[in-house]
Structure 1
Amino acid sequence: MTDAVTEQALSIQPIVDGHNDLPIASKYKRDYSVEGLDAGVPDLHTDIPRLRAGGVGAQFWSLFVPSNTGEAEAVQATFEQIDFVHRLVARYPDTFTLARSSAQVRSAIADGKIASLLGIEGGYSLGSSPAILRIFAELGVKYVTLTHNSNTAWADSGTDSPHHHGLNELGRDFIRELNAAGVLVDLSHTSPETMHAALDISTAPVIFSHSGVRGVTDHPRNVPDDVLHRLPGNGGVLMLTFVPTFVSAEYARWFDGGREGKPPPAGIAEVADHVEYARNVVGIDHIGLGGDYDGYPVLADGLEDVSGYPRLLDELVRRGWTVDELVKLNGANLLRVLDKADASAELLQAAVPELSVRQRDGARRMSGKTVD
C-alpha cells in the first residue's frame, strides 16, 4: 500500500519525468505503432495503465538516434520520432496532450491528462545547424542533450575521448541559441569539461535529464561534485536516473565483468541514496527524476517499469522526507526551470537583435573558418 505522504505529494504534484525512450523502443519493437498502449504492452516499460499507476503527470519523451548515425540521417530520424509522439497524443487524446511550457503542463494535469514534452537526446540530431535547432524548437522540442555516448562535432561526451575541450566555438553558439529559443540545455551524457563550459555560458537554467551522482557511484555518466556545486547558482535541476550501472558500482562491475552469478543489489535503496546525496549537495530545489525507461534493458529492482515511482517515494518517506520535499522532487522544481528558461528567452529576444547569433554563425561558415 502506498504511504499516505506519497499519495498526498502525488496529488499535489504528479511526477514530471525527464527522460523516457518509448519512441525509439517503439521503433525497434513495434515499427513505431501507437496501438495497444491503453491495454498494456509487456515488452515495454511504458504503457498507459502503468503511467497512471506510477502517478505520472508529465513526460519528456526522448527523441533518440544512435550516435553512429550520420547527421543528415539523424535529423530525419528525429522528425520521425516527433511524428511518433504526435501520433501517440492524437491516438489517445483522453490521456495525452502536447505541452511546451509549465503552464501547459499544469493545465494538462488539471484536466487529468499526461503532458507530453519533447527532448532531443544527442546534439548530432541538430545537423550542426542552428536553423534546424530553431525548427525543432518551433515543433515543441524543450531540451537538447548535447551529446550521447560519442562526441558531436561541437561538444565532448563523457564516454568518448575529449576533442573540443568541452565545447568548441559552434558549441558555444549552440548554447546561446538554445537559451534564445527557450530550449533547455541538457548536460546528461556530457563530459565534466562540457558541463562546466555550458554552465559558464548559459543564461538559463540547465538540466541533467537522466544522471546519477559520482559521489555515490563513480561512473562517467554521473555528475561530479564540482559541477553539482554550481547548479544552485545556475538554477538548474539534476534529474536522478534508475539505470542499475549508474546507481551501483558493484552492479556495474558485475555487468562489465561477464555477468556471472546473481547480480549485486541495484534497487530502490540505491536510487534513494543518489537522490539523498544530490539533495544534500545541491539542495532540495535542484533535484528531480528521470528514469530512462525503455532506454535500458533492465531498470533498478522495484522500479522495473513506469509504475514504480510511488515505491521510490515511499522509500524516501521512510527516510524522513516530507510532502513539501517530495512535491519539489516530483516535478515542481522542473516546472520552475521551464518557467525561467522561457523568461530568459524572452529577455534575450528583447535585448539582442534577432539575427545576431545566426549572423555570426553564417559569417563564420562563409569565411570557411573552422569550428575548433
Structure 2
Amino acid sequence: MRRLAITFGLIGAATAAQAAPPIISKAELALHQRLLTLDSHLDTPASLDLPGWSIEEEHGVHSDYTQVDLPRMKKGGLDGGFWAIYTSQGPLTIEGFRKARDFAILRGLSIRSMVAADPANFALALKAKDAAPIATAGKRVVYLSIENAYPLGEDVSLLKTFYDMGVRVVGFAHFAHNQFADSSTDPSKKPRYGGLSPLGKELLKEINRLGIVPDASHSSDQVLDDLLALSTTPVLLTHSGCKAVYDHPRNIDDDHLKALAAKGGVIQMNAYGAYLRASKPNPERQKAMQALFAQMREDAKLSAEARAALLAKRREIDRLYPDTDRATFDDFMAHMLHALKVVGPDHVGIGADWDGGGGVVGMEDVVDLPRITAALLKAGYGEADVQKIWSGNVLRVLAAAEVAKEK
C-alpha cells in the first residue's frame, strides 16, 4: 500500500484527547526554531502532482491527509530535508524499467519546479554546506533523494542524470527485491541475492564515485552488511527503527546499529506506526480501505473532483471504523531513545516518513515537530546533541561522501 500511502495518507482519525499534545515551554520552542532542522525522508513530492494541491497553502492532516506544506513547515520549524523521488516496484523488464525511469525523472522535475516557482521560500541544496545559509535566509532546504533505485534499470550510468538533477541520497530497494538488492519485506520472505546483486555492487561503486550517500532503509540486513563492507563512505538509514523495541523486518538490531555507527553511519528515526509497535487488527477498516485503494488504482490520474470524492469516502471510513490503536509519540521516542542509548547522539537523526505513511498520535504532521526537541531536552540531551540529531549527523555523512568523491 506504500504508493497509495504517499498519495493519500495512512493517517487515522484521532480523538480530541489523543490529539492534544503536552505543553511545550517557550524556551523549548525558541530553541527548536533556532536549530537547523532537516528530515531525511520527505515523501511530499507525491503531493506536488495532486490535482488542485499547492505546497504554498496550508492543508489539514485530517481533511486531505497530507502532512507537509510551506505554512506547516514554518509553524513546526522544519527547515527542509531530503525530498524523495519514490517509485513503486514494478516488473524487472525493459518496459518496466522504461516506465519507472520516465516516472522518476518527471517526479524529480516536479521537485525542481517547486523550487523554481518560489525562489523566495525554497532553495535547491547540492552540498552539505548549502543547508545552513539557505535556512538562515529564511528559505526551505531542498535536497533530492531516490527511494528505490529500480528506475535506473540495468544502466547504472543513468545515475549521473539524477545526480545532475540534484539527487544526493539513493536507496537500493523498496518493498520487494529488485535488480540491485534484496528487500527486507519481499513477499516471498526469501532472499534473492543474499545482499547486493552484482549489479547492485556496480551501483554502489557509481554512488561512491559521484559523491552520493548510500541509503540502506527498506533493504535487507544482508544488504546493509554489504554496504558497510564495500562502501567507501558512511551509510545512511534514511527512515528506519530499532528491532530491539519492535521486531519488524524494517527495523535493525543492535549489532547492526553498532556496525553502522562504527563506519560513521547514521540511523534516521521513522514515525511509520506499523514499524513502531504491533497494533490490534481492525478487519472492517482494513476491508473498507482496501476497497478504497482498489478504486484509486483504477483511476490513477485523478481529477480534482474524483480526488475530492475519494477523500470524502476516506473520511467516512474514519468515522465508521476509527483506527483506535495507533502508535503514539511515545512509541516513536522509544525507538529514538533506544538508538541513542546504543550508538549515541553522533549516529541518530530524524526521517519520519512524512506523506509516506509516517505520523503518530501526538505527532500527526510537521507542525508537531517541536515535541521531538522538547522530548530530547527532557531526556537529558543538550543543544549541541539535539542539533546533531536534527541535521548535523546527516550533513556530516553527506560531507563525507563529497570528500570521498574528491579524492
TM-score range, shorter chain: 0.7 to 0.9
Partner of 1:121: 147
Give the share of equivalent positions with the same residue, in percent. 30
Write the distance in 2 (CA, Å) between the matches of 1:205 and 1:294.
27
Offset at residue 113 of structure 1 (A): 0.8
Contact 1:165 1:193 in 2 (8 A): yes
Contact 1:123 1:144 in 2 (8 A): yes
Contact 2:173 2:180 in 1 (8 A): no
Offset at residue 300 of structure 1 (A): 0.7
Contact 1:18 1:239 in 2 (8 A): yes
Which gives a bigger RCO, structure 1 or 2 (Cα 8 Å, sep 6+)? 2
Contact 1:9 1:324 in 2 (8 A): no
The correspondence of residues 1-372 of structure 1 with structure 2, limited to 5 A, is: 1-4=23-26, 6-27=28-49, 30-31=50-51, 36-42=54-60, 43=64, 44-68=66-90, 70-160=96-186, 161-249=190-278, 251=279, 253-254=280-281, 263-296=324-357, 299-347=359-407
The one-letter amino acid paired with 2:55 is L
Write the distance in 2 (CA, Å) between the matches of 1:256 and 1:284.
40
Contact 1:126 1:132 in 2 (8 A): yes
Contact 2:36 2:132 in 1 (8 A): no
- TM-score, normalised to structure 2, is 0.79
SS at match of 1:51: helix
What RMSD, in angstroms, separates the aligned Cα atoms of the two structures?
2.0
Partner of 2:303: none
Contact 2:216 2:235 in 1 (8 A): yes
Write the distance in 1 (CA, Å) between the matches of 2:107 and 2:381.
37
- Alpha carbons of 1:295 and 1:79: their partners in 2 closer, same or farther (altered >3 Å)? same
SS at match of 2:81: strand
The one-letter amino acid paired with 1:170 is L
The one-letter amino acid paired with 1:319 is A
Contact 1:232 1:282 in 2 (8 A): yes
- Alpha carbons of 1:11 and 1:311: their partners in 2 closer, same or farther (altered >3 Å)? closer
SS at match of 1:320: coil
Offset at residue 306 of structure 1 (A): 1.4
The one-letter amino acid paired with 1:247 is L
- TM-score, normalised to structure 1, is 0.86
Write the distance in 2 (CA, Å) between the matches of 1:186 and 1:4.
36
- Alpha carbons of 1:256 and 1:201: their partners in 2 closer, same or farther (altered >3 Å)? farther
The one-letter amino acid paired with 1:38 is E
Partner of 2:292: none
Write the distance in 1 (CA, Å) between the matches of 2:208 and 2:227.
11
Write the distance in 2 (CA, Å) between the matches of 1:166 and 1:255.
35
Contact 1:268 1:315 in 2 (8 A): no
- Alpha carbons of 1:265 and 1:225: their partners in 2 closer, same or farther (altered >3 Å)? same
- Alpha carbons of 1:265 and 1:319: their partners in 2 closer, same or farther (altered >3 Å)? farther
Contact 2:86 2:104 in 1 (8 A): yes
Offset at residue 12 of structure 1 (A): 4.3
SS at match of 1:78: helix
Contact 1:180 1:345 in 2 (8 A): yes
The one-letter amino acid paired with 1:325 is D
Offset at residue 262 of structure 1 (A): 5.5
Contact 1:188 1:208 in 2 (8 A): yes
Gaps of 5+ in 1: 348-372
